[in-house]
Structure 1
Amino acid sequence: MKPFPLPVVALGAGSQPEDPDLAYMPLPGEVESFIMPALPSSEDVSHLGRAIELIGQLAALAARWQPGERCVRELAGLNSEELALVNQVLGEGEVSAKALLADGGEARIQESVFAGVWRVCRFDANGQQTGDSVEVAPIPELLIERAQAASRWLDALPPMPATLMNAAPIGAELLARQRQALDSPHVINFTLLPVTPDDLAWITELVGEGAVGIFSRGYGKCRVLATALTHVWRVQYFNTMNTLLLDTLEITRIPDVTLADGEDIADSAERLGEAHHWLCGAFDHV
């Protein structure tokens, strides 16, 4: 995760309306630094060869990862004891996500304590799990795919009330920038603009709700929501009291703040390799 490049300016009391979407998903808790998961001794897990092999495969995938690659390992073949070991090693990191699937189901995604190593679980419309995998990538491709598939292009602005102050130029900015998103990402920062509650309400209705939500507790609490407009994301930062500090629209394929970078993945490869060697009995331990 990367710090947001724009200055964070606290809002004055009453300068923003209450955000009804705050309940979309509970915001994560306090920031936690990396802690290598507590690992069992190799003797205790020597019979869990498939799980240990998978952890080694993940380390190798992370070490070989190149930009644009999608590296996935399915967990369907593991028994409950093997799966428990994988869960123990991967742990839970700073970023989680949800995506609504085309069939009415849902994907629930959790970054592990190894940045760029993601657990992706799929569920059908009845809540039954249909898939379980681990993906090595800056962010799971499913999130980008679903955000784009459930969105549309803005071809024209709808009529707007005459009482709005700055909604019209912001809407025009969205209209002009949306199709340039891949070549020239753009940020509209509501925190630094003179916008009224009515402006924000009209803009929120204009962009609509998308199919993806990404939530981070790194560098404070951050919520990144896909909108119903292609390449348009609502990115919001909160303090520890869940007070909104920074409210933006990012016009881009996916906001950089959600991505693990190459150095993150390389570091995860090294740490996963250490965990794999430990489980294989390569280290002396008491």
Structure 2
Amino acid sequence: MTVLSEIPVSVEATAPCESPTGNTLPILHEVRHALARLGKSAEKSAIDLQAMPLSSAELNDIETFLGHGEVSITIDTFGHTEIRESRFPGVWLVTHFNTEGEVESRFIDVTLIPDIVQAHRDDLAQSESELSELLESLNHESE
């Protein structure tokens, strides 16, 4: 019997549409509902903007409406990722680029802080060990 996790799934990004699709307001309402869920139950949400038809103008309208908040984060590994807080705390615009600088994916994350920014638990032990070694070497140098 095949279990669900064994079924291969691939998601193909849709190219921007030339004509308006009418998806701008529904997406913004979904952001509002997601923000309410985050506030009430700490439920995180992600809206994949590449997985639905949107014209370039609509995508621009969404980004303009959400605006800019106080925080911008750049991650440079396996391409480039830009994370920008919107003017609404808890609403983040996350864009992943490939090594050629082309957009790979674009999300609206509704969360306190995007998961990609948080340190991985597996890395914490290594980080603590490295810091301990450096502090130990400083102790030896000062003797």
Q: TM (normalized to structure 2)? A: 0.78
Runs of 4+ with >4 A deviation: 7-12
> What is the Cα deviation at residue 170 of structure 1?
0.7
What RMSD in Å do the two structures reach over aligned CA positions? 2.4
- Per-residue CA deviations over 1:40-64 (Å, capped at 9, x if unaligned) read xxxxxxxxxxxxxxxxxxxxxxxxx
> What is the Cα deviation at residue 197 of structure 1?
1.4
- Per-residue CA deviations over 1:179-236 (Å, capped at 9, x if unaligned) read 2225211001011111111221221122111111011113431110000012100001
Q: Percent same amino acid at aligned positions?
A: 25
The residue number in structure 2 matching 1:187 is: 46
Give the alignment of 1:195-214 within 5 angstroms: 195-214=54-73
> What is the Cα deviation at residue 164 of structure 1?
4.8
Flag the 1:275–1:16 CA change in 2: closer, same or farther, 3 A. Answer: farther
Higher helix share: 2
The residue number in structure 2 matching 1:147 is: none
For structure 2, list consecutive stretches of 5 or more residues without a partner in the other structure: 1-9
Letter in 2 for 1:208: G
Take 1:260 and 1:8, find their aligned partners in 2: how far apart are those partners? 27
> What is the Cα deviation at residue 253 of structure 1?
0.5
Give the alignment of 1:32-111 within 5 angstroms: none
Does structure 2 retain, via aligned residues, the 8 Å contact 1:232–1:252? yes
Take 1:218 and 1:8, find their aligned partners in 2: how far apart are those partners? 22
- Judge which range, 228-237 or 214-223, deviates more: 214-223
- Per-residue CA deviations over 1:65-97 (Å, capped at 9, x if unaligned) read xxxxxxxxxxxxxxxxxxxxxxxxxxxxxxxxx
Rg larger for: 1
Flag the 1:8–1:235 CA change in 2: closer, same or farther, 3 A. Answer: farther
For structure 1, list consecutive stretches of 5 or more residues without a partner in the other structure: 1-6, 18-162
Does structure 1 retain, via aligned residues, the 8 Å contact 2:78–2:98? no
1:225 is aligned, of 75, 84, 90, to 84
Letter in 2 for 1:203: I
User: Could you say which structure has the greater relative contact order, defined with CA pairs below 8 angstroms and 6 or more residues apart?
Assistant: 1
The residue number in structure 2 matching 1:256 is: 115
Does structure 2 retain, via aligned residues, the 8 Å contact 1:9–1:245? no
Flag the 1:16–1:164 CA change in 2: closer, same or farther, 3 A. Answer: closer
The residue number in structure 2 matching 1:175 is: 32
> What is the Cα deviation at residue 265 of structure 1?
2.2
Q: What is the count of residue pairs matched by the alignment?
A: 129
> What is the Cα deviation at residue 11 of structure 1?
6.1
Does structure 2 retain, via aligned residues, the 8 Å contact 1:8–1:246? no
